[in-house]
Amino acid sequence: MRVYVLDTTLRDGEQTPGVSLSPEEKLQIAKALDDLGVDYIEAGSAATSPGEAEGIKRIANEGLRAKILSFSRVMEKDVDLCRRCDVDGLFLVAPTSEGHIRAKLQTTPSEFLERISGVVEYAKSSGLCVDLCCEDGSRTDIDYMKRILDRVGDQIDRFTIADTVGAGSPELMAGYFQQLSRYKKLPYGVHCHDDLGLAVANTIASVKAGANTVNVTINGLGERAGNAPLEEVVSALDILYGYNTSIKTERLYKVSKLVEELTGVAVQANKALVGKNAFTHESGIHVDGLLKNTSTYEFVKPEYVGRKRVFMFGKHVGGKGLKAVMDGLGIQVNEDQFKRIFREIKSMGDRGKTITDADLLAIIDQVRGEKRKKFIEIVELRSESGNKIKPHATVVMRVGGKRTRESAEGDGPVDAAINAIMKAVGRKNIRLEEYHVDAITGGTDAGVSVQVKMRAGDKVITASGINTDIVMASVQAIVNGINYLVGG
Ligand SMILES: [Zn+2]
């Protein structure tokens, strides 16, 4: 059976505390969602601000395959604002619980029903499709929903129940859809929040009970604890329950990273499917099993969401895992050297250090008694930033034995320093793919650890730097990475 995906990253997701997207950023995400294959994009709320309306209008006129909706309150002036944005339809949100109607709207359920009916008629006569959503639906008397269906059921295009405060259980949500889908044949949608961590379970229970459209956000963004995450709902519906969606799951990770970058809301490391650790294996036993058969400790294949399996080093590493990684890097050592490398990794892990590729290569060099020639070395570095200057940096370096000096500007002192180094190195094929900072402890004098992932052609390497100065920690990580990328 086909399930339709309504993505609300750009509306409910944008209501995440601290998140505000520009019209350009919204368009970029909308295009990515369209490529991903979502059926509906709730692009924002036209009544919020002129800038928001402009953003929605641009998305609506982009010629995307997905249908574009705007959030609307039960008000004719909201409908007008949405229509001016050229959207296909409304996500018309009507508070339906007794508490919301009396406290928030200060009216009665009967009077409000009149208003709903009037606005639905107005919207339909404007040529808009209407997805009528019961706000606080999970605390709404089902008889009131039936009254709404009696009144406007033949006019609306879909009837959605929102578990707005995350108060629903799978059984409660399923109960609504079982009863309503028997009461009136109509497309039903479900919109769940994650206040008790049940958004995915509630969404799936609703689909099994008769809902055919799921409201979701990328990375589970949304107010408070967030909405049901698109990646989890779609993958579970597909893998465990055999429902079809039009989502190209192998694009999920890319879209997750884009949304993480543009919203600035970091995805937790242990988040299902898209978290940093979701396909990372450290423990020796697990790696051993995986090398025999990947299904032993991996139920979902990393390729399913467009990712690769990662083996991590630390105190849990096993001999076979280490051997596999070294084989992958084309490194051969004798048995005694292998034992010493293995011991050194365990001991670094015991000291709580994350071991990057550059660390591993340094250990191997040390055990083999080899001194790697450094391709680049920093002689002097200055970087400056402030409220009245454009951040800039000057670096004096030895590159391949030759002394060179370069300056560059950047978005901040770190960016400027890295730009200056990259200019001095002068190799256009070297790219910084990931940059990650951790403060080691609390205060402003705390040490910071910077981890980078760099690429030169097919060769990828991770490296790190630790310093109390964030610019220097970043520079160390980059220099380390470049030396191992270029040095062989
Ligand atoms: Zn919501």
C-alpha 193 to ligand 1 mean position (Å): 6
111 with 62: CB under 8 angstroms?
no
> Rg of the chain over CA atoms, in angstroms?
27
Residues whose CB is less than 8 angstroms from the CB of residue 134 and which lie 6 or more positions away in sequence, other chains included: 94, 95, 96, 140, 145, 148, 159, 160, 161, 162
C-alpha 38 to ligand 1 mean position (Å): 18
Model pLDDT for residues 225-258, shown as the tens digit of each residue: 999 999 999 999 999 999 999 999 999 999 999 9
C-alpha 28 to ligand 1 mean position (Å): 22
Model pLDDT for residues 74-86, shown as the tens digit of each residue: 999 999 999 999 9
Domain that holds residue 325: 280-368
How many domains would you assign to the chain?
3
How far apart are alpha carbons 313 and 438 in whole angstroms? 18
Model pLDDT for residues 12-34, shown as the tens digit of each residue: 999 898 899 999 999 999 999 99
Tell me whether residue 115 is in a domain: yes
C-alpha 15 to ligand 1 mean position (Å): 9
- Select from 218, 234, 263 the last residue of a domain: 263
- Domain check: are 38 and 132 in the same one? yes
- Domain check: are 256 and 289 in the same one? no
CA 438 and chain centroid, separation: 19
- Domain check: are 430 and 337 in the same one? no
Residues whose CB is less than 8 angstroms from the CB of residue 109 and which lie 6 or more positions away in sequence, other chains included: 98, 101, 144, 147
Tell me whether residue 109 is in a domain: yes
C-alpha 227 to ligand 1 mean position (Å): 7
Is 68 a residue whose pLDDT tops 70?
Answer: yes
Percentage of residues of the chain with pLDDT beyond 90: 70
- Select from 368, 402, 436 the last residue of a domain: 368
- Domain check: are 349 and 394 in the same one? no
Structure tokens of 190?
A: 């479900």
Which residue would you say has higher pLDDT here, 323 or 396?
Answer: 396
Which residue would you say has higher pLDDT here, 437 or 68?
Answer: 68
C-alpha 93 to ligand 1 mean position (Å): 10
C-alpha 191 to ligand 1 mean position (Å): 6
Q: Vertex 453, ends 451 and 455: CA angle to 5°?
A: 155
Model pLDDT for residues 397-423, shown as the tens digit of each residue: 999 889 999 999 999 999 999 999 999
- Domain check: are 306 and 416 in the same one? no
- Please list, residue by residue across 284-307, b when 16 or more beta carbons sit within 10 angstroms of its beta carbon and e when fewer do: bebbbbbbeeeeeebebebebbbb
CA 276 and chain centroid, separation: 11
CATH of the domain at 9: 3.20.20.70
Tell me whether residue 23 is in a domain: yes
Model pLDDT for residues 372-393, shown as the tens digit of each residue: 788 899 999 999 999 999 999 9
- Domain check: are 90 and 211 in the same one? yes
- Domain check: are 81 and 221 in the same one? yes
Greatest mean pLDDT among 129-138, 364-373, 452-461 lies in 129-138
Tell me whether residue 273 is in a domain: no
C-alpha 218 to ligand 1 mean position (Å): 13
- Domain check: are 101 and 210 in the same one? yes
| Side chain identity, residue 200 | V
C-alpha 356 to ligand 1 mean position (Å): 40
- Average confidence (pLDDT) over 440-456: 79
CA 6 and chain centroid, separation: 16
Tell me whether residue 270 is in a domain: no
- Domain check: are 121 and 233 in the same one? yes
How far apart are alpha carbons 137 and 235 in whole angstroms? 25
- The per-residue pLDDT for 339 is 93
C-alpha 471 to ligand 1 mean position (Å): 40
| Side chain identity, residue 230 | L
Mean pLDDT of the chain: 92
Tell me whether residue 275 is in a domain: no
CATH of the domain at 391: 3.30.160.270
pTM: 0.81
Residues whose CB is less than 8 angstroms from the CB of residue 415 and which lie 6 or more positions away in sequence, other chains included: 391
- Select from 368, 390, 406 the last residue of a domain: 368
How far apart are alpha carbons 194 and 225 in whole angstroms? 5
- Domain check: are 293 and 245 in the same one? no
C-alpha 256 to ligand 1 mean position (Å): 19
Low-confidence winner among 51-65, 224-238, 319-333, 398-412 (lowest mean pLDDT): 319-333
- Domain check: are 310 and 187 in the same one? no
- As a three-state string, the secondary structure of the chain is CECEEEECCCCCHHHCCCCCCCHHHHHHHHHHHHHHCCCEEEEEECCCCHHHHHHHHHHHCCCCCCEEEEEECCCHHHHHHHHHCCCCEEEEEEECCHHHHHHHCCCCHHHHHHHHHHHHHHHHHCCCEEEEEEECHHHCCHHHHHHHHHHHCCCCCEEEEEECCCCCCHHHHHHHHHHHHHHCCCCEEEEEECCCCCHHHHHHHHHHCCCCEEEEEHHHCCCCCCECEHHHHHHHHHHCCCCECCCCHHHHHHHHHHHHHHHCCCCCCCCCCCCCCCCEECCHHHHHHHHHCHHHCCCCCHHHHCCCCEECECCCCCHHHHHHHHHHCCCCCCHHHHHHHHHHHHHHHHCCCCECHHHHHHHHHHHHCCCCCCCEEEEEEEEECCCCCCCEEEEEEEECCEEEEEEEECCCHHHHHHHHHHHHHCCCCEEEEEEEEEECCCCCCCCEEEEEEEEECCEEEEEEEEECCHHHHHHHHHHHHHHHHHHC
How far apart are alpha carbons 381 and 379 in whole angstroms? 7
C-alpha 479 to ligand 1 mean position (Å): 45
- Average confidence (pLDDT) over 129-154: 98
Is 479 a residue whose pLDDT tops 70?
Answer: yes
Count of positions (residues) in the chain: 488
Tell me whether residue 274 is in a domain: no
Cβ neighbour number for residue 74 with a 10 Å cutoff: 22
Tell me whether residue 384 is in a domain: yes
- Domain check: are 298 and 216 in the same one? no
Model pLDDT for residues 253-282, shown as the tens digit of each residue: 999 999 999 999 999 999 999 998 898 876
C-alpha 192 to ligand 1 mean position (Å): 7
- The per-residue pLDDT for 290 is 64
C-alpha 3 to ligand 1 mean position (Å): 19
How far apart are alpha carbons 395 and 378 in whole angstroms? 7
